[in-house]
Amino acid sequence: MAEDSGLEKPDTGALSPEQQEKLRQFKIKTRIANEMYMRAHPEVEILLSDFLRDVFLNKPTNISEFAADHFNDPDLPRKIQAKVKDSGSMKI
């Protein structure tokens, strides 16, 4: 079935055990660094979730144009800061 989908099966022998372990450690460190960044910048999650909510509500036919309009809103920074402030006051 892999041939029908255009995808190849994973080559489990492509990396040596040492390379596999280095890759695993890299993935762990990257995930931790990303999590730390997201915790330090709650506005990123708010920006993304607001954008996705608007996409699902509006279902635009031209997503590129919709995204450009969304992120070029001159009032966006104020809206995001207000939501960051509100979300911070709601934490226990």
Looking at residue 89, what is its pLDDT? 62
Q: pTM of the prediction?
A: 0.65
- Find the domain containing 34 and state its range: 16-90
| Cα gap 5→82, rounded to integer Å | 46
Residue 86 has pLDDT above 90, yes or no: no
Residue 63 falls inside a structural domain: yes
Residue 1 falls inside a structural domain: no
Residue 65 falls inside a structural domain: yes
Region of poorest pLDDT, from 4-8, 19-23, 45-49: 4-8
Residue 25 falls inside a structural domain: yes
Looking at residue 92, what is its pLDDT? 43
Residue 11 falls inside a structural domain: no
Residue 55 falls inside a structural domain: yes
Looking at residue 19, what is its pLDDT? 92
Residue 34 falls inside a structural domain: yes
pLDDT per residue as tens digits for the range 42-70: 999 999 999 999 999 999 999 999 999 99
Q: Please give the tally of structural domains in the chain.
A: 1
